[in-house]
Chain A
């Protein structure tokens, strides 16, 4: 199920640190992860029933993915078991167990986008960024993903970069949007 990987990212310090490390393969970040960022989250949800998913979502919001150390901290400080958390984290496509780029590009491959040639958008981005679906660029700026529907079907084919949606795309247009972000980043 993990093929439609998806999450929303809130840029913050620790994430940017992670994002700068090359993450094309499953490289563990060199910079140590500041686990104390999780403390407010844990005190908010500790002991509440049904807290597993919100805890994982909150952790992922902090780091962009769920680092192994974070699982271990949750296991030590709440009554959740590692096996339970791992089971849930691998069931839902939202959760990532690997670091991601600073910006996440989600190309829609829902029905409406599929019939309007969403493949061309993914192909163009793959070529421009030189990565495959699910991978992150060398500079840690972009992760490319496919999702099932962004709810902008009337503007198909569509994609979302972080929280911003773009519609009526062509391959060139998609590449242009991504390049503009890159230019801004390099300033």
Chain B
């Protein structure tokens, strides 16, 4: 007889990076050697990345999610839970059966986009189908729902594009539908360029069919003849799983000709791998890249809806936008619009990262406050340090300071802070993050990624970066803040695409909320967060120094003097501020200011 017990290992990129593959192999080996009676399965990321590797055991009594499982712990849970039928409570991070420390991570989450992530094997179309998969497109085919009715449902849902722009999806579909042509394209933007965001990767790895079904429905609505998924090459696992999913969908007739008996509905999808250029996330640059050209944005209008790929009407949406669509078609636009705020409907996935205890993926209704997301779901700041700011919107966004922690997350409230919703990356910063350094970090990024077409974006960002470099090296001058603001204004005004228009945002928001930190760097030549090394001075606390000589031995320039068992001393003129002594001293005797 076959037991109904299942052991499921999370094999998303994050799980793999934490060693989940080894755990999977270990359990597979145990199962074989000991001839154990359970079904071993794989899934992708459930969002609890901070507890990876994750192993879920489902038996007659219920589901137990084990966290931080290495090979040894895997042996232990198999031995105790499977053999002796007694779950190892200490390693359980989530279950409905008893109280666990991570329960608050799920409080208030509503899973629409992530409805299958972590619940199904992403490489099995049957598992997707068993959870309402491809039911939406079947509903359209079965009840003969018209193209315009599909578009109307999406308009009613209030869904706005999740790629950053926030344009109403239904309206965009309507425009593309209005433009008649024998060839039309639908493109899924899976370029996910914001460094610090990973929700699109998780969806593609965890539930590729939901994106494909969303694209099929979109293709039906706008009468597209071909689809393209433009995925960044840094996501090899996502590309692999998409390829598997596409092949399965073709075999089952969800892609091909006269799909599900809808006469004349012929549609298939190809994957295009990006070649490493952030600007290719911008829709016109993306189209140029698919055409095999340098990815340079062009002037709009004409918008892609009128003239896009190969000059044909083209509709571009983000991964998360598409993943919402099947749910909306199945449950109705009004049901989706029940979630969220007046102008921002539905749910949004956020990628929590940085100095936060529980980094991972959460999906919450729009309108939840930053405080709830960071402190309730995210568990607060690592090491219980002081929360300083959260960066939203990546290189186009800004830093929202601690005192605005009660800001509601919707498009308009976030815009009012000077940041943007962006794609949903939230990088949390504590008191040890220097805001000038952060601004420099983003400018360095946008300056390198500027395509070079517009003078202000190409050269202006370089000039801003130079000023920020000076400031962080202790060579800031009076008037630098003003110069930064002027350049920002000019770049915003004179750039063609979103990259240039938003590149100054990280600088402007940090000046707005952390001006004192800029001034400390420029006027007092100090870095309050102790990040900008040239601004630090290293001295030795005579009270604490035991004269162990470790620092003197490790100083690369020999700047530290002192005899054994005598208080040591740093000669400032020889110190290159490398910070090595600080990391070496076991007695906390090195003072950094």
> Hey, which bits of chain A sit against chain B, CB under 8 A?
1, 3-4, 6-8, 49-54, 56-57, 87-88, 91-95, 109-112, 114-116, 147-156, 158, 163-168
Verify B354–A112 contact, CB threshold 8 A: yes
Instruction: Report chain B residues within 8 Å CB of A148.
Output: 193, 195, 278, 445
Verify B236–A163 contact, CB threshold 8 A: yes
User: Could you give 9 example pairs across A and B, Cβ below 8 Å?
Assistant: A1-B449, A57-B275, A94-B233, A115-B354, A116-B355, A149-B196, A149-B234, A153-B354, A154-B353
Q: Which of A92, A114, A154 has the most CB of B within 10 A?
A: A154
Q: Is B391 an interface residue (CB 8 A)?
A: yes
Q: Is B201 an interface residue (CB 8 A)?
A: yes
Interface 9-residue window, one of B284-292, B538-546, B563-571: B284-292
Instruction: Report chain A residues within 8 Å CB of B201.
Output: 151
Verify A155–B17 contact, CB threshold 8 A: yes
Verify A158–B17 contact, CB threshold 8 A: yes
Other contacts beyond A111-B194, A150-B13, A155-B359: 9, CB < 8 A? A4-B276, A8-B236, A57-B273, A94-B274, A109-B195, A152-B17, A153-B198, A153-B354, A155-B49
Verify A154–B293 contact, CB threshold 8 A: no
Verify B196–A111 contact, CB threshold 8 A: yes
- B263-303 residues at the A interface, CB under 8 angstroms: 272-278, 289-295
How far is the CB of A117 from the nearest CB of chain B, in Å? Answer: 10
> Hey, which bits of chain B sit against chain A, CB under 8 A?
13-14, 16-18, 49-50, 52, 192-198, 201, 233-236, 272-278, 289-295, 310, 351-355, 359-361, 391, 394, 425, 427, 429, 433, 438, 441-442, 445, 448-449, 451
How far is the CB of A112 from the nearest CB of chain B, in Å? Answer: 4
> How many angstroms from the CA of A7 to the CA of B418 in the assembled complex?
35
> How many angstroms from the CA of A173 to the CA of B361 in the assembled complex?
26
Instruction: Report chain B residues within 8 Å CB of A150.
Output: 13, 234
> How many angstroms from the CA of A88 to the CA of B352 in the assembled complex?
35
Verify A155–B18 contact, CB threshold 8 A: yes
Instruction: Report chain A residues within 8 Å CB of B433.
Output: 115
Verify A88–B196 contact, CB threshold 8 A: no
Verify B449–A165 contact, CB threshold 8 A: no
Verify B295–A149 contact, CB threshold 8 A: no
Instruction: Report chain B residues within 8 Å CB of A1.
Output: 277, 448-449
Verify A147–B234 contact, CB threshold 8 A: yes
> How many angstroms from the CA of A93 to the CA of B355 in the assembled complex?
29
Instruction: Report chain B residues within 8 Å CB of A116.
Output: 354-355
Verify B391–A152 contact, CB threshold 8 A: no
Verify A111–B355 contact, CB threshold 8 A: no
CB-based nearest B residue for A163: B236
> How many angstroms from the CA of A43 to the CA of B353 in the assembled complex?
45
Q: Which 6 pairs show the lowest CB-CB distances between chains A and B?
A: A110-B195, A111-B196, A154-B49, A52-B292, A92-B275, A149-B195
Verify B233–A8 contact, CB threshold 8 A: yes
> How many angstroms from the CA of A114 to the CA of B196 in the assembled complex?
9
Known contacts A1-B448, A111-B425, A112-B353, A94 near B275 by CB under 8 Å: yes
Known contacts A111-B427, A151-B198, A153-B197, A6 near B234 by CB under 8 Å: yes
Instruction: Report chain A residues within 8 Å CB of B353.
Output: 111-112, 153-154, 156
Q: Which of B195, B197, B291, B425 has the most CB of A within 10 A?
A: B195
Verify B234–A152 contact, CB threshold 8 A: no
Verify B354–A156 contact, CB threshold 8 A: yes
Tally of contacts, chain A with chain B, CB under 8 A: 142
Verify A50–B354 contact, CB threshold 8 A: no
Instruction: Report chain A residues within 8 Å CB of B359.
Output: 112, 153-156
How far is the CB of A116 from the nearest CB of chain B, in Å? Answer: 7
Choose from A3, A154, A158 the contact partner of B50 (Cβ within 8 Å): A154
Instruction: Report chain B residues within 8 Å CB of A152.
Output: 13-14, 17, 198
How far is the CB of B70 from the nearest CB of chain A, in Å? Answer: 13
Verify A167–B234 contact, CB threshold 8 A: no
> How many angstroms from the CA of A52 to the CA of B292 in the assembled complex?
5
Choose from A4, A94, A165 the contact partner of B16 (Cβ within 8 Å): A165
Known contacts A93-B277, A110-B196, A50 near B292 by CB under 8 Å: yes
> How many angstroms from the CA of A95 to the CA of B201 in the assembled complex?
22
CB-based nearest A residue for B441: A114
Instruction: Report chain A residues within 8 Å CB of B197.
Output: 149, 153
Verify A50–B234 contact, CB threshold 8 A: no
> How many angstroms from the CA of A91 to the CA of B197 in the assembled complex?
24
CB-based nearest B residue for A4: B276
CB-based nearest A residue for B351: A153
Known contacts A50-B291, A91-B294, A151 near B192 by CB under 8 Å: yes
Verify A53–B289 contact, CB threshold 8 A: yes
Instruction: Report chain B residues within 8 Å CB of A153.
Output: 196-198, 351, 353-354, 359, 425, 427
Verify A93–B276 contact, CB threshold 8 A: yes
CB-based nearest A residue for B51: A154
> How many angstroms from the CA of A95 to the CA of B438 in the assembled complex?
28
How far is the CB of B230 from the nearest CB of chain A, in Å? Answer: 11
CB-based nearest B residue for A5: B276
Instruction: Report chain A residues within 8 Å CB of B427.
Output: 111-112, 115, 153
Verify A53–B196 contact, CB threshold 8 A: no
Instruction: Report chain A residues within 8 Å CB of B274.
Output: 94
Q: Which of B294, B310, B351 has the most CB of A within 10 A?
A: B294
Choose from B192, B277, B391 the contact partner of A111 (Cβ within 8 Å): B391
Choose from A7, A56, A112, A147 the contact partner of B196 (Cβ within 8 Å): A112
Verify A88–B17 contact, CB threshold 8 A: no
> How many angstroms from the CA of A135 to the CA of B360 in the assembled complex?
33
Instruction: Report chain A residues within 8 Å CB of B192.
Output: 151
Verify B277–A91 contact, CB threshold 8 A: yes
> How many angstroms from the CA of A180 to the CA of B280 in the assembled complex?
37
Instruction: Report chain A residues within 8 Å CB of B49.
Output: 154-155
Instruction: Report chain B residues within 8 Å CB of A168.
Output: 18
> How many angstroms from the CA of A94 to the CA of B16 in the assembled complex?
23
Instruction: Report chain B residues within 8 Å CB of A8.
Output: 233, 236
> How many angstroms from the CA of A156 to the CA of B427 in the assembled complex?
11
Instruction: Report chain B residues within 8 Å CB of A94.
Output: 233, 274-276
How far is the CB of A125 from the nearest CB of chain B, in Å? Answer: 17
How far is the CB of B62 from the nearest CB of chain A, in Å? Answer: 27
Verify B13–A53 contact, CB threshold 8 A: no
Verify B294–A88 contact, CB threshold 8 A: yes
Instruction: Report chain B residues within 8 Å CB of A154.
Output: 14, 49-50, 52, 198, 351-353, 359-361
Known contacts A110-B196, A149-B196, A167-B14, A87 near B294 by CB under 8 Å: yes
CB-based nearest B residue for A156: B353
Q: Which of A56, A116, A152, A166 has the most CB of B within 10 A?
A: A152
Instruction: Report chain A residues within 8 Å CB of B291.
Output: 49-50
> How many angstroms from the CA of A136 to the CA of B268 in the assembled complex?
42
> How many angstroms from the CA of A91 to the CA of B276 in the assembled complex?
9
> How many angstroms from the CA of A156 to the CA of B360 in the assembled complex?
11
